[in-house]
């Protein structure tokens, strides 16, 4: 969504590189370009003016004039001001002291309230809560049925005493849902309310009546991020008519310019709390202003990437992989497939790679990443026999032709897979020998998933490694090995530290290079 804005800002900052000092003309020109970029991204003019004024004032100050790298200092200033315009600190949900906590969703029709109710319910369930969804939209055709379907997919119960389609009193449904939640031990109630195609008096009155009947702890305004500057007008109308505590942005994966996200918090004083960036129920997360600002400026979002990795990767499987590598048991195609499947759980490959720093300049390449490649790899590996997965060296021409036919690909695709696997196997062997430090958040990379191996697992791995280690036939090398072993014993068995100027193995660099 922010591609246009990111590209314009990147071009603006690029023009500052190589300058030892920034003149007043340089700063004026930079602020002018940033202003144009924000306006082209549909950011409201009332939000742009104070933003540019703050950036210009700080850029003219001593923090830039005394900086060793003025261009980087300007980027830092813009980043900090972006965090401010997006709301500053991350805003969390307020929960009631005595359950249930009531969360009311409000917004225009088509903003995605019903789907968002399911996403929010699923997220609350993953946080250890017991939510219930309430079908209080009794006007839109099949709104009740849609919420029931979404609730079933999300694994969250739905309270729907009325059939909807114009039948029933939404205020009565919302009020009775509180007693229902108490009787069924639900600690969070998410109320899906009706919307309209535009702001009108009936919509505001019904939403206000529901608010007065249930006294929600949080009223979340659901806003379509693709409506541009109209977002501010709509948000202000709801704020005046009903009031709300936070904003949820939907359709952040669209191709709009993203002005809503940069305008609403600044002009309404209500922070964006959640963001929906896809059609799947799991495409939903807490909105972090600092992380969003980092993405807009092309600096990636490593914290979100690490959090997604921790959710997707299985700790036991990662520890087992680490034990195999340290014990020298080998890296098989089954392991290769298991790791690819765990990466798949994190989401699309283009989204994952887009969170890496510096990937903003590779948008065209990211757009060409095909997630179906993992499906083809899975089909090829599953077309192999258990013996072939353990020992790919036995795959001769006829076996490769059979695998290609069974998985619906050309033989060249099987050959390409085996070449990539061979590179991965070399890298894993290097890591198993201690030739590479652990990579937190990735299964099978060192301690795996950022978690430390248990003492028992370490002892077993060490024993397996010692068992598989043979004595060298070269007397000089054997003497050197024994001397190194004695030195380690004298140091309490401590392993040598990884040098600061550590270089990645060539095999790993080849893998990162593509291997197409």
CATH of the domain at 31: 1.20.120.140
Q: Is 97 annotated as a binding residue?
A: no
Q: How confident is the model at residue 307 (pLDDT cuts 50, 70, 90)?
A: low
120 among the known binding-site residues? Answer: no
Q: Does residue 387 share a domain with residue 248?
A: no
Residues 6+ apart with CB under 8 A from 340: 374, 377, 378
Q: Output phi, psi for 285, to 5 deg.
A: -160, 170
Q: What's the pLDDT score for residue 493?
A: 44
Locate 427 and state its tokens. Answer: 């890298």
> Model-level pTM?
0.62
110 annotated to bind ligand: yes
Residue in 285, 282, 312 with CA at minimum distance from that of residue 153:
282
Instruction: Tell whether the model's pLDDT for residue 450 goes beyond 50.
Output: no
327 assigned ligand-binding residue: no
Mean pLDDT score across all residues of the chain:
75
- Residues 140, 282, single domain; the answer is yes
What average pLDDT score do residues 96-110 get? 88
36 and 176 inside one domain: no
Nearest to 168 by CA among 212, 198, 199, 138: 138
Q: Do 226 and 325 lie in a common domain?
A: no
Percent of the chain with pLDDT over 70: 65
Q: How many domains does the chain have?
A: 3
Q: Is 458 annotated as a binding residue?
A: no
Is 192 labelled as part of a ligand binding site? yes
Peptide bond into 100 cis (omega under 30): yes
Q: Is 108 annotated as a binding residue?
A: yes
| Contact call for residues 131 and 117 (beta carbons, < 8 A) | no
- 304 in any annotated domain: no
- SS3 call for 101: strand
Are 338 and 363 members of one domain?
A: yes
- Check whether residue 285 and residue 338 sit in a common domain: no
Q: What is the pLDDT of residue 150?
A: 93
What is the residue whose two structure tokens read 């742009």? 48
Q: Mean pLDDT over residues 436-449, rounded?
A: 38
Is 193 known as a binding-site position?
yes
* Boundary residue ending a domain (85, 118, 135): 85
Question: Is 207:232 a contact under the CB 8 Å cutoff?
Answer: no
Is 233's pLDDT higher than 50? Answer: yes
Three-state SS sequence of 133-153: EEECCCCCCCHHHHHHHHHHH
**In the predicted structure, residue 425 carries a pLDDT above the cut 50:** yes
Comparison of pLDDT for 130 and 231, the residue scoring more: 130
The answer to whether the annotation marks 234 as part of a ligand binding site is no
Q: Are residues 290 and 339 in the same domain?
A: no
Residue 306: per-residue pLDDT:
64
Q: Is residue 215 part of a domain?
A: yes
Residue 78 lies in a domain: yes
Boundaries of domain holding 48: 3-85
33-85 confidence digits (pLDDT tens): 888 888 877 777 888 888 888 888 888 876 666 655 777 788 888 888 888 87
Annotated ligand binding at 315? The verdict is no
Q: 87 labelled as ligand-binding?
A: no
Residue 463: inside a domain: no
Cis before 411 (ω within 30) = no
Lowest-confidence region among 27-31, 210-214, 340-344, 351-355: 351-355
CA distance 384 to 381: 5
Q: What pLDDT was estimated at residue 513? A: 45
Q: Is 7 in the same domain as 155?
A: no
The residue among 275, 299, 323 that closes a domain is 299
Residue 124 falls within a domain, yes or no?
yes
**267 and 339, same structural domain?**
no
251 assigned ligand-binding residue: yes
Q: In the chain, how long is the greatest CA-to-CA distance?
A: 92
Statement to judge: residues 224 and 113 lie in one domain? yes
Does 376 reside within a domain? yes
Question: What are the phi and psi torsion angles at 132 (to 5°)?
Answer: -135, 140
pLDDT at 501 over 50: no
What b/e string do you get for 146-175 counting C-beta neighbours within 10 Å, with b at 16 or more?
A: bbbebbeebebbbbbebebeeebebbebbb
Residue 195, annotated as binding a ligand: yes
Is there a binding annotation on residue 196? Answer: yes
pLDDT (average), residues 406-411:
90
> Can you say whether the dihedral through the CA atoms of 62, 66, 70, 74 is positive or negative?
negative
Within a domain: residue 459? no
Q: Identify which has the larger pLDDT, 311 or 291.
A: 291
- The arithmetic mean of pLDDT across residues 236-258, rounded, is 77
Which of 258, 277, 299 terminates a domain? The answer is 299
Residue 356 marked ligand-binding: no
Q: Are residues 261 and 157 in the same domain?
A: yes
Q: What is the pLDDT of residues 125-184, one digit of tens each?
A: 999 999 999 999 888 888 899 999 999 999 999 999 988 888 888 999 999 999 999 999
Is 476 part of any domain?
A: no
What's the length of the chain? 516
Mean pLDDT across 26-32: 85
Same domain, 201 and 259: yes
């Amino acid at each position: 969504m922010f591609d246009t804005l990111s590209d314009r800002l990147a071009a603006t900052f690029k023009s500052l590189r190589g300058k030892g000092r920034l003149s007043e003309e340089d700063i004026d020109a930079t602020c002018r370009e940033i202003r144009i970029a924000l306006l082209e991204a549909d950011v409201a003019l009332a939000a742009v003016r104070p933003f540019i004024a703050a950036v210009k004032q700080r850029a003219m100050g001593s923090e830039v004039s005394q900086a060793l790298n003025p261009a980087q200092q300007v980027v830092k200033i813009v980043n900090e001001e972006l965090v401010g315009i997006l709301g500053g600190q991350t805003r969390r949900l307020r929960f009631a002291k005595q359950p249930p906590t009531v969360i009311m969703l409000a917004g225009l029709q088509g903003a995605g309230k019903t789907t968002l109710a399911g996403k929010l319910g699923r997220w609350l369930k993953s946080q250890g809560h017991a939510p219930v969804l309430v079908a209080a939209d009794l006007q839109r055709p099949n709104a009740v049925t849609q919420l029931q379907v979404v609730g079933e997919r999300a694994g969250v119960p739905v309270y729907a005493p009325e059939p909807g389609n114009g039948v029933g009193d939404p205020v009565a449904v919302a009020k009775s849902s509180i007693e229902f939640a108490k009787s069924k031990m639900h600690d969070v109630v998410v109320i899906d309310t009706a919307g309209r195609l535009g702001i009108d008096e009936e919509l505001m009155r019904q939403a206000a009546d529901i608010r007065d009947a249930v006294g929600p702890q949080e009223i979340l305004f659901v806003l379509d991020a693709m409506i541009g500057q109209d977002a501010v007008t709509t948000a202000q109308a709801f704020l005046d008519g009903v009031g709300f505590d936070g904003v949820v942005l939907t359709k952040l994966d669209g191709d709009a310019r993203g002005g809503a996200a940069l305008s609403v918090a600044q002009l309404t004083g209500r922070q964006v709390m959640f963001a929906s960036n896809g059609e799947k129920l799991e495409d939903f997360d807490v909105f972090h202003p600092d992380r969003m600002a980092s993405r807009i400026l092309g600096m990636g979002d490593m914290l979100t990437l690490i959090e997604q990795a921790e959710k997707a990767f299985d700790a036991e499987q990662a520890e087992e992989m680490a034990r195999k590598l340290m014990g020298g048991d080998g890296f098989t195609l089954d392991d290769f497939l298991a790791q690819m499947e765990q990466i798949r759980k994190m989401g699309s490959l283009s989204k994952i790679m887009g969170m890496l720093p510096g990937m903003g300049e590779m948008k065209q390449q990211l757009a060409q990443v095909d997630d179906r490649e993992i499906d083809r790899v899975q089909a090829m590996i599953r077309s192999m026999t258990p013996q072939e997965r353990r020992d790919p060296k036995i795959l001769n021409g006829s076996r490769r032709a059979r695998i290609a036919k069974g998985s619906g690909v050309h033989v060249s695709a099987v050959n390409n897979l085996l070449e990539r696997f061979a590179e991965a196997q070399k890298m894993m062997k290097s890591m198993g020998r201690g030739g590479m430090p652990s990579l937190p958040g990735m299964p099978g990379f060192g301690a795996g998933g950022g978690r430390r191996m248990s003492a028992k697992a370490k002892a077993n791995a060490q024993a397996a490694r010692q068992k598989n280690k043979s004595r060298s036939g070269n007397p000089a090398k054997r003497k050197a090995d024994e001397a190194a072993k004695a030195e380690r014993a004298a140091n309490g068995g401590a392993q040598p530290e990884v040098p600061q100027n550590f270089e990645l193995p060539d095999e790993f660099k080849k893998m990162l290079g593509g291997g197409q």
